[in-house]
Amino acid sequence: MSEEQKPIMTPDDVASAEFQIQKLYAKDVSFECPNAPHIFQETGQADVKMNLAQRVDDLGDNLHEVVLTVTVTATIGEKTAYLAEVAQAGIFMLSGFNEQAAHAVMNTMCPNTLFPYARRAISELVSDGGFPPLTLQPVNFDQLYAQRMQEIAQQKSGETGADQSNGEAVDAEFPIDD
């Protein structure tokens, strides 16, 4: 007999839940072009990869800092053309959410809010670095979160280890087509 899934939040829970953006800011920004100026003489298409990582810190008083780190690495052959990294952060107030719903919000709504800022910063860094404009495609953080939670559930059913989520549902690598 399968166990019936419970909703993350009931309608009464939703009515009392509150989500507010307190502050958005760039926590860390870096651009490296280790093989300049010779890399500009290379021919061929750059192989561009994007990595996402996320960290959530509890600040107390229903406040949480969420840091979404976007790292883009471009290589031509064996040489690194550039490495651009942006740690886009935000302070979010969450109240009235149960633990499961708060975890979902911090790993879906918060990175969905932060990603456009990080994407714009990456694009500007790449262009300012002398490379063709780079447009990062949108990321479905809801899908990433669902996949990560499914992986954790499968790990737990296979072993009785500790919860490995720790608010870090996003950790993925994406190839990018220019």
Tens digits of pLDDT across the chain (178 residues): 444 454 554 554 556 799 999 999 999 999 999 999 999 999 889 999 999 999 999 999 999 999 999 999 999 999 999 999 999 999 999 999 999 999 999 999 999 999 999 999 999 999 999 999 899 999 999 999 999 999 988 888 887 544 444 444 445 554 444 4
For residue 155, what is the enclosing H or E element? helix 141-158
User: What CA–CA distance (Å, rounded) separates 69 from 53?
Assistant: 5
DSSP string, 31-83: EE-TTTTGGGG--S--EEEEEEEEEEEEEETTEEEEEEEEEEEEEETTEEEEE
Cα distances (angstroms) measured from residue 1 to each of 4, 142, 154, 155: 9, 28, 18, 21
Contacts of 34 (CB under 8 A, 6+ apart): 80, 83
This prediction has a pTM of 0.80
Ranges of each domain in the chain: 14-158
Q: 14-158 falls under which CATH superfamily? A: SecB-like (3.10.420.10)
